[in-house]
Amino acid sequence: MLINPSVQRRNTTQNIRESTESLFFIFIQSTVFNTVMLLSKKDKEKLVIKLANEGKTTRDIAKEAHVSLKTIGQILNKVTGDDEAEKEQRLKDKSEYARAFKMFKDGLPLEDVAIELDIESPTVLCYYKDYLKIVNMGRLVTIYQELKDDLSLFLRLYRRIKKERLSKPELLQLLKTPKLLWT
């Protein structure tokens, strides 16, 4: 089959135009990327602030400015005045109870909490007990979300362990032999 030369020229011209547009787009993208990569720290901070003011998401800012999410957070915290000194001051304004929770969360030993807050050991133990309840409730919620449709099986197993007061070795044997679960 013969192709009309004018149609062939049009197709060739169109292909060249599309290729040129693609190359131009790649060139512009590359130029923008290299320009962003060459910005000074101060210029990148300005770009992050500008993009944030435009309502861009943190992820969009990270892609466009080529900075990490952590860096974006630090820049925006600096701009909003939400820096570490201010956070620390806000923590000091909190109740003794809240400060103790923060210390437990940060992994401080109980004796350090007692010293730092200048409170007696029964008070520290009471606060710690409350903290552990909250943490364990969080774990329970996580377990529940993981179990979803298998909750009834888990509860059956739990009731059997409790009813029969199974020891660890007995429990391990029960788990190794699934037939025993249903007897």
**pLDDT tens-place string over residues 131-180:** 999 999 988 888 888 888 888 888 888 888 889 888 888 888 877 876 76
Confirm if 66 and 38 have CB atoms less than 8 A apart: no
The answer, yes or no, to whether residue 113 has pLDDT greater than 50, is: yes
Kindly report which listed range (2-16, 31-45, 164-178) carries the lowest average pLDDT score: 2-16
Residue 112 lies in a domain: no
Domain coverage including residue 23: 12-91
Written as six digits, the tokens of 32 are: 């923008």
Write 40-46 long-range contacts (CB < 8 A, 24+). 45/75
Structure tokens at 87: 């956070």
Q: Is residue 20 part of a domain?
A: yes
Burial call 69-80: b when 16+ CB within 10 Å, e when fewer: eebbebbbeeee
In a domain, 44, yes or no: yes
Assess if residue 26 is contained within a domain: yes
pLDDT at 33: 47
CB 95 within 8 A of CB 65: no
Please, what is the average pLDDT of the chain?
80
Count up the domains in the chain and report the number: 1
**Residue 172 forms part of a structural domain:** no
Instruction: Evaluate whether residue 165 is within a structural domain.
Output: no
